[in-house]
Structure 1
Amino acid sequence: MNTFKNMIAALLVASTAAMPIAAHAQNSVDVSGDVKAVETSVDEAGNETTQLVEPGVIIPGGRLVFGTDYTNNSDEPAENFVVTNPLPTAVRLAPDADPDLIVSVDGGNSWGTLASLSIANEDGSTRTAAHADVTHVRWTLASIAPGESGRLEYPAIIR
């Protein structure tokens, strides 16, 4: 039981460490990150409801959504604003993530869609990168208008 509690604590610490990094940051854009657990319930009529809740007891295979909120607090547009989120090692990118999401599988050294990236095997061969290989996700916002705000999200599964 203590091992399980330690795993939960480690995940929560890791998720806190996975807050967004605003590359090319402009002081006028505020970013903040959070993580929510995906909770699905079925009512007496058999209707399924899914909601995002504060993480509580989490287990391998559980779903999370990592989010980044941004707001441009200046009178000028923010151009080519880049937000990079490292994935905590306790999670993997969910298979239903947007296939156009820009990701890295090598710690942020190279970027592309998952389908365009590959992993080098120990024997020198390569294989197509998989969701479990993703180390970072990145969004580039062409322009954030003055006063504009929004949210960026990616789904993850606990390893």
Structure 2
Amino acid sequence: MSCRIVVAISLALAAPPLLAERAQARPAVATDSAVFVERVMPDSSSRLEPAVRLSRGDKVVTVVTWYRMGGDGGFVITNPLPAGLAYEDSASDRQDVSVDGGRTWGHLGTLRIGNRLAAPEDVTHVRWRIPPGTAARGRGEIAYSGTVR
């Protein structure tokens, strides 16, 4: 993978491309994200390290931290995936995915592209619905993983 592509992917993953969509009583929401790369150790264990440089095939974990700064009710966080990242999985069952740039949403395994079921690498956006009870805590984290293309 060329250095230019690695830098572009690194910048895209490091930038907080998250959009907090306001719902109901318009809670004020801030987000922050951190990107980690999974390293497999000689003993077959693995650990997460802050992503400094990424290469094709690296498995990355993005941790999104949200903060409700005020307001009431739940909210939705939408994250467009960088083109250089193939989605794998989310740590939350509250996520929906899009395979068409955010126009339609659903669970992976129910979305179609033409005549076939959409695959994880087709995902273009991920969104999480944060219900009012969880939002009332004021802070939370969501994580998802992917592989550098």
Band the TM-score falls in, shorter-chain normalisation: 0.7 to 0.9
- Does 1:114 find its partner at 2:103? no
Q: 1:114 to 1:92 in 2, by over 3 A?
A: same
Counterpart in the other structure of 2:29: 29
Contact 1:19 1:32 in 2 (8 A): no
For residues 153 and 47 of structure 1, what CA distance do their matches in structure 2 show? 22
For residues 27 and 153 of structure 1, what CA distance do their matches in structure 2 show? 22
Q: Choose which of 84, 102, 105 in structure 2 pairs with 1:90.
A: 84
Gaps of 5+ in 2: none
The number of equivalent residue pairs is 144
Secondary structure at the counterpart of residue 68 of structure 1: strand
Aligned pairs (5 A) from 1:139-154: 139-143=128-132, 144-145=135-136, 148-154=138-144
For residues 85 and 75 of structure 2, what CA distance do their matches in structure 1 show? 26
For residues 40 and 47 of structure 1, what CA distance do their matches in structure 2 show? 6
- Does 1:127 find its partner at 2:123? no
Counterpart in the other structure of 2:127: 138
Gaps of 5+ in 1: 121-125
Report the TM-score when normalising by structure 1.
0.80
Q: Amino acid of the residue matched to residue 140 of structure 2?
A: G
Report the TM-score when normalising by structure 2.
0.84
Q: Amino acid of the residue matched to residue 145 of structure 2?
A: P
For residues 118 and 31 of structure 1, what CA distance do their matches in structure 2 show? 30
Q: Amino acid of the residue matched to residue 83 of structure 2?
A: T
Q: Amino acid of the residue matched to residue 41 of structure 1?
A: M
